[in-house]
Amino acid sequence: MTTLTATETLLHKGSGLQVVVGLGQSGLSVANYLTKQGYHVAVTDSQPTPALADQLPAAVDIRQFGAIDAELLQQAARIIISPGISLDTDAVAAARRANIPVVSDIQLFCEACTVPIVAITGSNAKSTVTTLVGQMAADAGVNVGVGGNIGVPALNLLANPDMQLAVLELSSFQLETVTNLGAQVATVLNMSPDHLDRHGDMLGYHQAKHRIFQGAKSVVINREDALTRPLVADNLPRLSTGIHAPDKGHYGLITDPEGQIYLARGTDRLLSADKLQIKGRHNLLNAQAALALGELAGLPLDSMLNTLQQFTGLEHRCQYVATAAGLDYFNDSKGTNIGSTMAAIEGLGAVYAPKDGKLLLILGGQGKGQQFGELTPFINKYVSQVLFIGEDAKQIEQHLRATKLSDEVALHQCQTLESAFATIQQVTISSLSQVQAVLLSPACASFDQFSGYAARGEHFSQLVSQLATDI
């Protein structure tokens, strides 16, 4: 009996082959979806034994593991690429040069989805806003599906035949292979340097993010960030958000004569900021974004405001952990880029500044080619101690020292979180210390020391609990 090669098998089976590149959760969802649609599906992954291989449907009879199979990709009618795999990968790039379509699972979803889509991206706060909008919809009685980059693959949402609204968090990796998403409402929450090692520069990153606006029926814009403004028709319905008093019909903040801050729509005060369980100025912008997205998706305002007051935020996103030895500890391990860390420093720093308090900031991990000197103005204003951990700790310190860093900011090389906690106790023991809060917001990826940002945040929280117990 002759054993056919992968190529010969494809030629034998005929055309129309769908090749899934990358067998993570999204790749598995694509394989399940396409086989149920009756397609002939092949899967290839660089891992010799992908963890999810045994969950593939039996109909996937071509499985090429150990390397992305360039020969297999050349035989594809369409390639569905997982977000973790770069389009510049040799085998993928060769397939694109051969004019073989390369799309993501999001493209398959938007082509099959028959309900309105709320599409959310940005450098920071995507998960917070996506979760909040999803909860607002659910609380308003809408049968909503929430997924995408937030944990549930988008295609899995199609299993719900009663879904009335889809709320998707989308990464730049997912968007770079999406065309004409056609969302009911789309937004880029904010833009700051991230994933430049993948996109090459800010232009490439910006172009990927702004694909979310293709075919959008309405948009939400952050007035504080010009890079979020889409190139769309002037008559397209839009709402804007910002930290200042808004124009009529838009969202913003109003401060009364006593200094109390309110979420506002036009001149209407909607909700006092102290009624929110999520704290910091960045979360006031997140709340506005959720309200604006919800409004354009048809959700009732009163119901959204009720949801907003109950929302406690997400784990590892500026999450209050505990108070130990007079210091408040915050876990912002999800802060994996400088934009996110800027928002966390400014958001929390503004809370402690009126009490003459400063932050102790823990930075470091894998820097992803970012310029950390951009953090200096925020550190000078709100931080008195910076502790560096991880693979790029020394490089990050060099970046800060090369800028106009205040002489009042002390820098410490710690390498690990355990060492950082020992340093925290040393530098805050003085009665002259201005530190009132410790913020883990690394501005870096975590894979040098942890399996992911969640593991890093959990370890931080464990160290805080241990510290509180020892006191």
For the ranges 12-16, 172-176, 223-227, 290-294, the maximum mean pLDDT occurs at 290-294
Average pLDDT, the chain: 90
Question: Secondary structure of the chain: what % helix, strand, coil (to 5)?
Answer: 40, 20, 40
Q: Residue 248: CB partners within 8 Å, gap ≥ 6?
A: 266, 267
Q: Which two tokens stand for residue 418?
A: 């355990």
Task: Output the pLDDT for position 193.
Answer: 55
50-59, 227-236, 254-263: least confidently modelled range: 227-236
pLDDT digits (tens, 9 = 90+) for 389-407: 999 999 999 999 999 999 9
Q: pTM for this one?
A: 0.76
pLDDT digits (tens, 9 = 90+) for 350-371: 878 877 899 999 999 999 889 9
Give Cα separations from 101 to 77, 178, 204, 330, 373 (angstroms).
7, 11, 20, 45, 40
d(C-alpha 128, C-alpha 342), whole Å? 16
280 pLDDT higher than 80: no
Question: Where along the chain do its domains lie?
Answer: 16-103, 107-310, 319-470
Q: Is 99 exposed, middle or buried (0-12, 13-18, 19+ CB in 10 A)?
A: exposed
Check: CB of residue 59 under 8 Å from CB of residue 36: no
Give the containing element (helix H, strand E) for 296.
Answer: helix 281-296
Average pLDDT over residues 423-452: 90
Task: Output the pLDDT for position 10.
Answer: 40
Task: Output the pLDDT for position 197.
Answer: 54
3-state class (DSSP) for residue 267: coil
Give Cα separations from 454 to 24, 208, 369, 416, 458 (angstroms).
18, 26, 22, 16, 6
Q: How many helices (H) and strands (E) does the chain have?
A: 16, 20
pLDDT digits (tens, 9 = 90+) for 116-140: 999 999 987 888 999 999 999 999 9
Nearest alpha carbon to residue 147 among 177, 126, 169: 169
Give Cα separations from 176 to 21, 31, 55, 304 (angstroms).
15, 20, 27, 32
Task: Output the pLDDT for position 374.
Answer: 94
Structure confidence at residue 14 as a pLDDT band (50, 70, 90): very low
Residue 51 CB coordination number (10 Å): 11
The DSSP output letter for 203 is H
30-44, 49-63, 306-320, 434-448: least confidently modelled range: 306-320
Task: Specify the CATH number of the domain 319-470.
Answer: 3.90.190.20
312 pLDDT higher than 90: no
Query: Which residues are catalytically annotated?
Result: 126, 149, 195
Taking phi first (over 0 means left), then psi (-120 to 50 degrees means alpha), and beta for anything else, what does residue 96 get?
Answer: alpha
Check: CB of residue 91 under 8 Å from CB of residue 73: yes
Check: CB of residue 127 under 8 Å from CB of residue 165: no
Average pLDDT over residues 259-271: 94
106 pLDDT higher than 90: yes
Write down the residue that tokens 């030895």 correspond to: 325
Q: Which two tokens stand for residue 294?
A: 């919800």
Q: What is the second-level CATH architecture of the domain 107-310?
A: 3-Layer(aba) Sandwich (3.40)
d(C-alpha 294, C-alpha 286), whole Å? 12
Task: Output the pLDDT for position 1.
Answer: 27
> What residue ranges in 318-368 does DSSP mark as E strands?
319-324, 327-331, 358-364
d(C-alpha 126, C-alpha 289), whole Å? 10
Q: Is 50 exposed, middle or buried (0-12, 13-18, 19+ CB in 10 A)?
A: buried
- Domain 16-103 is found in CATH 2.40.30.10: no
pLDDT digits (tens, 9 = 90+) for 234-256: 889 999 999 999 999 999 999 98
pLDDT digits (tens, 9 = 90+) for 154-197: 999 999 999 999 999 999 889 999 999 999 999 999 887 555 55
> What residue ranges in 347-452 does DSSP mark as E strands?
358-364, 383-389, 410-415, 435-440
Structure confidence at residue 379 as a pLDDT band (50, 70, 90): very high
pLDDT digits (tens, 9 = 90+) for 201-245: 667 777 888 999 999 999 999 999 888 888 787 889 999 999 999
d(C-alpha 266, C-alpha 270), whole Å? 10
Task: Output the pLDDT for position 351.
Answer: 76
Task: Output the pLDDT for position 198.
Answer: 57
pLDDT digits (tens, 9 = 90+) for 149-161: 888 999 999 999 9
